[in-house]
Structure 1
């Protein structure tokens, strides 16, 4: 029994010695493949214990490195803080601090204004002292030179007194002088206006007398505005028979184009100003450019309405919409090219007045109703389609259309309708308008037999009081006016 115990003890000692040799790096030591009394798990446990020891060593090294880094960072942070304090002391005080570190105090830091108040006060005081000393020296020099200068010429004023007078100018009666100046300007302006606009005759009503308190009606400038519009319609006038230079385009082709544009305007819900301006652009272009081809006439028409819509509309249709109404006969590039050509030929000016602008003024002078206004617009639109009426000025068309509207709806004679007030504001006498009125009456009578009925159909709208279907347009009064023959260019 004792022999077995000793043998087992010797084997354990041998195993411990071999393990020690292995850990010391002795390569000649051989471990048994399987030890008696130990399992593989026990061997791995020993190895794991060794790895844990190595891991503890590595963690210790990392901890030491971290501590050193924290120490260096703390030192750097302290250095930066001291440097920042040094710079901040320079900013706050305006002086270079002698000490690199400012000792913190319980008092909050001063603002720039508070910290520099004393320095500013000292600087101001120093500047005042220098200026005072300079002024005293200058005064002493002048006092020394003054007697000598007076002795040479006692009549001449001293230079110092002249400087004082110039340095402190005195405005005599500033309020009164400015008031007189303003009053004089107002008097001159009023006298100039009286020369330009003489007082109204006794039989003429002042239709702008009640508009002085309304800035939108511009009663101070309204006469000048319409005088300027009259000058513009003379400047951009359409000649009689302005298509004589065209070898292909005729009056009937023009009427067909404008009648179709009435439908386009109605489809796009454009304002009436757009349609009137479109007709003016077309006539001006056809008058300026000879030999427009037949296949280009529709392109000119849609491009003119495209331009007019951009000029008058708030939300103008896109160019693709105008290409669509032509059934894609033209492309967008064609419209843009034609637009550039039209604007170049018209001198980039679309300022020619339209009949609707004058019609509003004349309806106000006649105290007309909305029905009178719609019927006059109907007559104007019919005249725009007719080629023989294209050469009349917009104001002439508006005056003649309103005169005929008042005549048909009031059961009065033309002489009673066209009062001196209407003659004054329209600047047309009844004798001047009589042939135009008769031409319009003839167009109205023949509209049912005409193939151009777009205007007639549009004014069947209840919003326009259905003026194209009024019974007054079928009475003998209009027939009598239409019997007088008129010269046409068709």
Structure 2
């Protein structure tokens, strides 16, 4: 049975009692609002979810993974864990790829939307994350919430995208950040487009649609895991950060650019992350780290080729220092001119072919 959210009405410009309480915050940098996405109609209808998305709380022996040719989960590539079973941890992580599904086919449910609108929204959310010094995982959680939420909806108008996006980021920040932005800050960053009450209403709609399943393994969490495994010494613990931060920042820029394209949803997050890592480490090593075969990785590597070229033309990204963040700056989501890079990458995306990954002598050592 379908659930109906009701209508979120647009307010009058001179509505009484609606004066913002944050008018004095003029010294804060204003992130440009998504004015190009606005129009008249504002209604959402929640569709019943035929297949519940649930976390797997117990080991699942013999789990089948669609993206791996329907084969059984391979032996865990995780190192020995002093605090738990590496096999159980690995199976639980991989099984979330089955429970937390995403697909670009959701666009077919929204005739008035275009893939570029999703790209613009996610680019803006990266900019908001940068402004509020949010972690990369926070943005990637918001991206996952948005894509999964949209798959439960029909006929969402573009005027609602900014509200949905900022609400997803608000929920994600409460899941990930030690000190998440306040509700009024989220309303303020929309440049007065939405009030706090509207964000709260949308929050409940999203949580119900997602059935409160808010803990996916994101693309960036897979990337960090793989790189941590590649960098750790024999006697170190997996939970002890020790990878080269500068190399990780270069990787995340490529991942950010890829996730802005709706075609990235053709791939599982772990496949997307492993494909990014293949451009910094030997593919054979990545296959061992990820438990993914060449046949699984190659389609994603082929698709990713123009994105790699676009990033390469922009040179290396500089490491930033954050006054309010100590020893964790590499995990802060930063923004750059992703839309220009995306436009450049998508020019030849359809007919590009990925060359054979370079040999070890041709690659720059990520360490």
Fold-level match, TM-score > 0.5? yes
- Radius of gyration: which is bigger? 1
Secondary structure of the 1:244 match is: helix
Separation in 2 of the partners of 1:438 and 1:358?
A: 20
- Say which of 348, 352, 357 aligns to 1:484: 352
Q: Does 1:310 align with 2:178?
A: no
**Residue of structure 1 in register with 2:142 after alignment:** 278
Are 2:102 and 2:147, in contact at CA under 8 Å, matched by a contact in 1?
yes
**Residue of structure 1 in register with 2:262 after alignment:** 387
- Say which of 108, 127, 143 aligns to 1:244: 108
Are 1:355 and 1:397, in contact at CA under 8 Å, matched by a contact in 2?
yes
Separation in 1 of the partners of 2:76 and 2:263?
A: 35
Deviations 1:434-484 (A, max 9, x none): 2212322312333699xxxxxx89944445599x99xxxxxxxxxxx9973
Separation in 2 of the partners of 1:270 and 1:284?
A: 21
Q: Which stretch of the first structure deviates more once superposed, 367-376 or 306-315?
A: 367-376
Q: Does 1:208 align with 2:72?
A: no
Secondary structure of the 2:278 match is: helix
Q: CA deviation at 1:348?
A: 1.3
Q: Does 1:400 align with 2:275?
A: yes
Q: CA deviation at 1:388?
A: 1.1
Separation in 2 of the partners of 1:206 and 1:301?
A: 35
Which structure is higher in helix share? 1
Q: CA deviation at 1:305?
A: 0.2
Q: CA deviation at 1:240?
A: 3.7
Q: Does 1:439 align with 2:280?
A: no
Alignment of 1:48-87 (within 5 A): none
Change (3 A) 1:437 1:371: farther
Are 1:307 and 1:339, in contact at CA under 8 Å, matched by a contact in 2?
yes
Secondary structure of the 2:200 match is: helix
Listed as ranges, the gaps of 5+ residues in structure 2 are 1-58, 63-74, 232-242, 322-329, 338-348, 355-367
Deviations 1:174-205 (A, max 9, x none): xxxxxxxxxxxxxxxxxxx9x99xxxxxxx99
- Say which of 239, 244, 250 aligns to 1:375: 250
**Residue of structure 2 in register with 1:337 after alignment:** 201
**Residue of structure 2 in register with 1:349 after alignment:** 213
Whose RCO is larger (CA < 8 A, sep 6+)? 2
The number of residue pairs the alignment matches comes to 252
**Residue of structure 1 in register with 2:188 after alignment:** 324
**Residue of structure 1 in register with 2:70 after alignment:** none
**Residue of structure 1 in register with 2:87 after alignment:** 223
Q: CA deviation at 1:392?
A: 1.7
Separation in 2 of the partners of 1:394 and 1:433?
A: 12
TM-score, with normalisation over the residues of structure 2? 0.61
TM-score, with normalisation over the residues of structure 1? 0.46
Separation in 2 of the partners of 1:300 and 1:236?
A: 19
Secondary structure of the 1:484 match is: coil
Change (3 A) 1:482 1:429: farther
